[in-house]
């Protein structure tokens, strides 16, 4: 257990990352030994555009098992994480000035990637079932977006999971309007026992869907390793990128070690361990919030990293953040997740980075700051 927090140590609920105690150094040592024991120097060479074949085979087996659906090696291209994949998608499927659709709210750093590419972002509201199809249809009357970016399961920041019905309606809209759907599915496997509907990756052959996956949330963010799942022609557009071509594919060495981690059964063990810990941490945070912050409203998440909480009427989360910081606690204010300055009363609290006593202490500090 980490040292107990004191006021000189700010408890930052903004940190959407695992605590160091959850990063599997021992498992990686085993995997690296296993991988290097083969003495295959190709790991240290430039690779092929779509990424190491053996790794993609192991990944396809891992995903087929964990998604409970068949995933073929040919549907997968290796990325250096979902952020890098999203950047590649922007490079290959958009031009500066294009419009794209995002969920409102959405992942704030994705908004920064879209800004880097000079894209114009139009927000589509979500409700408790995910993206609102009526609002999407309205927006499609006025705009022809280069793509729609969605986080279907355990969304960042809202924790919302798109219902099966909405997924079907979204795919129908994608087919009708030839709309490219970029599904960021990095939390898909991080449920706390209630499995979400099948990933949008199920539709890569029947609609224009690209699914982005990553080992950041289910293993370790420092790997910078992920994948893009799509139909071969769409993946071909991606692998023709200058970065992929010049670099000889992405991350061959880490892919090789990850292959061993999967083949040895350690990736499953790591993922299931994280799901267990995050379920406990989420429950601790929510219990403390119900007890100590009764005026703050939220829906308890069933997976992922985040609680999306709303302050009482008339309270601004940005102003509250200054008071909270002085009291030794921080969070990300809701406006950071909006393409249009919305969600002024919302706070995103991550439970991934702290253990139970720290989570409770952080909520105590929030309660103190709110009362002050």
297-298: strand order across its sheet: 297-298, 306-310, 346-350, 332-333
Stretch that binds ligand PLP, among 70-78, 79-87, 203-211, 354-362 (CB under 6 A): 79-87
For 291, how many CA atoms within 13 A lie in the half-sphere containing its CB? Answer: 10
Q: With binding defined as CB under 6 A, does residue 351 bind ligand PLP?
A: no
Residue closer to ligand PLP, measured from CB, 83 or 161: 83
**Residue 15 interacts with ligand PLP (CB under 6 A)?**
no
Between CA 270 and CA 260 the distance in angstroms is 13
Map the footprint of ligand PLP across residues 212-251, applying CB under 6 A: 214, 216, 221, 226
Contact criterion met (CB below 8 Å) for 245 and 49:
yes
Alpha helices in 68-107 (DSSP H): 82-93
Instruction: State which residue, 351 or 367, has the beta carbon closest to ligand PLP.
Output: 351
Measured from the CB atom, the residue of 149 and 298 that comes closer to ligand PLP is: 149
CA distance 231 to 206: 9
105: contact with ligand PLP by CB under 6 A:
no
Which residue in 55, 67, 101, 107 binds ligand PLP (CB under 6 A)? 107
Q: Give me the least distance between CB of 73 and ligand PLP, in Å please.
A: 20
| Residue 151: CB minimum distance to ligand PLP, A | 5
Question: Nearest 5°: CA angle at 270, between 267 and 273?
Answer: 145
Q: Which of 14, 24, 47, 81 binds ligand PLP (CB under 6 A)?
A: 81
Q: Is 206 exposed, middle or buried (0-12, 13-18, 19+ CB in 10 A)?
A: exposed
User: Taking CB under 6 A as the criterion, which residues in 180-199 touch ligand PLP?
Assistant: 184, 186
Summarize as ranges the residues that interact with ligand PLP (CB under 6 A): 16, 81-83, 107, 151, 156, 184, 186, 214, 216, 221, 226
């Amino acid at each position: 257990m980490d040292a107990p927090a004191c006021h000189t140590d700010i408890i930052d609920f903004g940190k959407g990352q695992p605590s160091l105690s959850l990063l599997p150094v021992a498992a990686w040592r085993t995997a690296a030994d296993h991988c290097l024991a083969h003495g295959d120097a190709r790991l240290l060479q430039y690779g092929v555009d779509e990424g190491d074949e053996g790794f993609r085979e192991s990944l396809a087996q891992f995903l087929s098992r964990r998604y409970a659906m068949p995933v073929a090696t040919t549907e997968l291209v290796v990325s250096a994480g979902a952020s890098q994949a999203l950047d590649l998608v922007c490079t290959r499927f958009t031009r500066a000035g294009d419009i794209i659709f995002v969920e409102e709210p959405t992942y704030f750093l994705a908004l920064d990637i879209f800004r880097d590419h000079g894209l114009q972002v139009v927000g589509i509201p979500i409700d408790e079932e995910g993206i609102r199809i009526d609002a999407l249809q309205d927006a499609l009357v006025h705009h022809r977006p280069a793509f729609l970016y969605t986080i279907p399961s355990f969304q960042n920041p809202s924790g919302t999971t798109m219902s099966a019905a909405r997924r079907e309606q979204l795919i129908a809209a994608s087919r009708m309007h030839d709309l490219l759907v970029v599904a960021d599915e990095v939390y898909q496997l991080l449920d706390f026992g209630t499995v979400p509907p099948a990933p949008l990756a199920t539709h890569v052959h029947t609609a224009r869907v690209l699914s982005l996956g990553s080992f950041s949330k289910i293993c370790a963010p420092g790997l910078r390793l992920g994948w893009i799942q799509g139909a071969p022609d769409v993946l071909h557009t991606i692998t023709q990128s200058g970065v992929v071509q010049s670099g000889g594919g992405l991350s061959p060495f880490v892919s090789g070690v990850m292959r061993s981690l999967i083949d040895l059964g350690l990736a499953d063990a790591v993922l299931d361990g994280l799901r267990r810990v995050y379920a406990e941490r989420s429950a601790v945070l929510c219990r403390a919030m119900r007890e100590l912050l009764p005026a703050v409203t939220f829906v308890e998440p069933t997976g992922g990293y985040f609680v999306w909480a709303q302050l009482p009427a008339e309270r601004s989360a940005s102003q509250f953040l200054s008071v909270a910081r002085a009291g030794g606690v921080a969070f990300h204010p809701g406006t950071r997740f909006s393409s249009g300055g919305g969600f002024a009363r919302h706070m995103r609290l991550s439970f991934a980075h702290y253990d139970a006593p720290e989570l409770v202490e952080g909520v105590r500090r929030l309660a103190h700051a709110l009362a002050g």
